[in-house]
Structure 1
């Protein structure tokens, strides 16, 4: 456990060609509440990042992009002196006169920044030469407009395609449109959109195993079946065309009360790992660096955002990072990696992890959309 309170003080706000450049706001985060394995430490990479959600970065790690679900803007954080603390923030909003609609997903690719709204994919060409005044292009605008599970995580796969989930527009329902409850993919210019996987209620994170180049993704289980069912899921999707069961079967072995009698369980692919029910696993990354101990290499770290609809008697769960070891298509082990964002006495989360990003030095960043910060977790022998 790392003791101490992070304090960073504001020294001003500048406006450059429409981009707000913030050089930090005062805040206090008590890092002593976070429990980590021995040798690890947590610090603050950036503060004052309201509703910090999805993360992406340039290859050198000097600029980190942050999506935003509720505040209708996107951030770019720069570390100009290389001390692993961001010292400048660019905050962008739409210049079209119409607010961006939940610009949650961000992905940097070949010099361009991609941002996912509910129904559109935006591209900002040559973003590093346009941080003060980014130029926006719409490359795709035919996703559904439903806000329910409409926010999107996006990432480029090993095939060079942009992968984009489309959540179910409900807690649980059938839909005539196949694109709902799916993961799609498209070319970087927005062409040739196709459905990659179906039966996926609400995925807000996926990554590819660096050894096999195969996809793993998180999926949030349905609500209102009780405190302890169904489990949230970690799924393995090595090829196009797989169906993961929603809305008919949950966690692979629980039939839905309304739809479960329509198809047999054997029609669907079962999860490889079951997270705690309602723990809301979101972002995940395969750790590929050399800073952490060897057991972490080529394995998964998952952000569990935390429950919202468990009863007071059952108590909230999640609000943590989980380490999951995999081998091929199997989960070998799982353990809590970081915890402490949930106040057990009040049953409230003072912070909620959302996404994970590995930096070039082997440390990881973790976004928190409640505390409004980006943490950095590092390791020293």
Structure 2
């Protein structure tokens, strides 16, 4: 089955604050099977990660109206290279336990580029092991490491966290803890704080617990997993172990099982003014709910 890559500036639906008549959706290309995170260069090239396919694509914008974009596969055989981000002209890729760098990717993607290894010391567990990458205002990489399970307490403190990684040395530090599975991050254009999604645990019913969007106001803060979900839902297995600990509550709660993925603050001028600095959120959609939810792009202001 092919995964369709949509225009990154055109949106399908809204959840919290928006008017769906403001947007339309169209297909850019359907030649990027299993597409995950997308990074756009200043010249309009799109670089696309995958999960199961193990490939990386470059999507070259068409040179004339009505023409199809060119799709180039420039890497293959990688392990879940889903997370990608551009920094200083280099493409950084999160592939399970490794962070890779493809230097000067915009001029080398046709030349069988070979990646440099920034680190290969991240956890190797495949459950929630796929990555999402973001570059912070400090020019460091921010990388979530998901819990290796539906609900558990890992002996490796890097599981269920977000790491801050130096792109030059690969050295990492814990930036946020108690984060079950974040697959979306964005930096607020005014406060420069990190906002991130967290997809809640399964097997507690159709509507429990809510998905979360959190804000890092204090680096190192704990967001509850596996003890507490969505601010006020004690986990039936681990909740009794939390004692009197207090966790950082979510900024926004979203319908359970919506599976929030990529998100970004809109700071440009093409959309109506009411969307400026609004947070656009892609909802992957549920897989284990009686009635499906999600499968849309929502807006939070």
Q: TM-score normalised to the size of structure 2? A: 0.91
Deviation at 1:86, TM superposition (A): 5.5
Give runs of ≥4 in structure 1 deviating > 3 Å. 82-86
Alignment pair present for 1:297 and 2:276? yes
CA contact (8 A) 2:74 2:109 kept: no
Alignment of 1:259-278 (within 5 A): 259-264=238-243, 266-278=245-257
Alignment pair present for 1:253 and 2:200? no
2:134 maps to which residue? 155
The size of the alignment, in residue pairs, is 287
Give SS of 1:301's match. Answer: strand
Greater fraction of residues in strand: 1
Q: Aligned-pair RMSD on alpha carbons? A: 1.9
Summarize deviations over 1:99-148 as a string: whole Å, max 9, x none. 31100001011111111101000100111221112121111101111110
Cα 1:135–1:254 shift into 2, 3 Å: same
CA contact (8 A) 1:100 1:117 kept: yes
1:323 maps to which residue? 299
Cα 1:215–1:49 shift into 2, 3 Å: same
2:34 to 44, 47, 51: 51
CA contact (8 A) 1:112 1:123 kept: yes
Summarize deviations over 1:258-287 as a string: whole Å, max 9, x none. 110111465210111111001100110000
Alignment of 1:103-114 (within 5 A): 103-114=81-92
State the alpha-carbon separation in 2 of the partners of residues 66 and 266 from structure 1. Answer: 40
Alignment pair present for 1:194 and 2:170? no
Cα 1:223–1:162 shift into 2, 3 Å: same
State the alpha-carbon separation in 1 of the partners of residues 33 and 244 from structure 2. Answer: 42
State the alpha-carbon separation in 1 of the partners of residues 108 and 129 from structure 2. Answer: 28
1:282 to 261, 266, 270: 261
1:376 maps to which residue? none
Summarize deviations over 1:343-366 as a string: whole Å, max 9, x none. xxxxxxxxxxxxxxxxxxxxxxxx
Q: TM-score normalised to the size of structure 1? A: 0.72
Give the number of the structure whose alpha-carbon radius of gyration is greater. Answer: 1
Q: Structure 2: where are the runs of 5+ without partners?
A: 7-11, 14-18
